[in-house]
């Protein structure tokens, strides 16, 4: 008999303009101090900027950027006989999307530029073309998992 009640996830809400749950999740990643309207302005401004720049629609570029930066494997530390080994583990889809969005936001914050709208827009464009910092972070994680593949039998 379980001691606690099972926790259920609230159904994800879609954003008002593009009707996308993924985009609403991204807006919440940018959110600071509860200023959601400001976060929405930043994300929608970035999507409009992408619309003006390229041939593809901005929302499509956003979805491709999140998908291209999504890791498939990551390493988790585990103590085995006094040593801490980095063990490669497959990433669940929800966590992969979450990591991807975090990496895009972090890379945009570190990027040199005028406004956050431009930084996020250019980071998404770079992620789609597989050149940005967020995509580099994904490839670093994959490379580390590949290097530690010999420890995969310690997976739990």
What integer pLDDT is reported at residue 80 of this predicted model?
84
What is the C-alpha radius of gyration for the chain, rounded to an integer number of angstroms? 18
What pTM value is reported for the model? 0.89
Q: Of 141, 120, 108, 116, nearest to 61 (Cα)? A: 120
What's the CA angle centered on 14, arms 12 and 16, to 5 degrees? 150
Residue-wise burial string across 3-14, b where 16 or more C-beta atoms lie within 10 A, e elsewhere = eeeeeeeeeeee
Domains and CATH numbers, the chain: 21-154 (1.10.455.10)
Residue 125: predicted pLDDT: 93
Report H helices in the chain: 21-30, 36-53, 58-68, 93-110, 116-128, 133-147
Greatest mean pLDDT range, 3-7, 87-91, 98-102: 98-102
pLDDT digits (tens, 9 = 90+) for 50-67: 999 878 899 999 999 999
C-alpha distances in Å from residue 57, one per residue of 52, 62, 101: 9, 9, 19
* DSSP-assigned beta bridge partners for residue 79: 84
Give the DSSP letter of residue 81.
T
Per-residue pLDDT reduced to its tens digit, 94-153: 999 999 999 999 999 998 878 999 999 999 999 999 999 999 999 999 999 999 888 777
């Amino acid at each position: 008999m379980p001691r606690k009640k099972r926790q259920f996830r609230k159904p994800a809400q879609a954003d008002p303009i593009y009707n996308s749950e993924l985009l609403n999740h991204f807006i919440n990643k940018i959110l600071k101090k509860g200023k959601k309207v400001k976060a929405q302005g930043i994300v929608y401004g970035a999507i409009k900027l992408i619309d003006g720049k390229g041939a593809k629609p901005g929302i499509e570029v956003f979805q491709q950027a999140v998908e291209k930066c999504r890791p498939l494997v990551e390493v988790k530390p585990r103590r085995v006989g006094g040593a801490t080994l980095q063990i490669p583990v497959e990433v669940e889809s929800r966590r992969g999307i979450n990591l991807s969005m975090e990496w895009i936001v972090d890379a945009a914050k570190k990027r040199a530029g005028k406004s956050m709208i431009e930084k996020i827009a250019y980071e998404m464009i770079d992620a789609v073309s597989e050149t940005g910092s967020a995509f580099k972070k994904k490839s670093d994680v994959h490379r580390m998992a590949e290097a530690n593949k010999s420890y995969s039998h310690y997976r739990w």
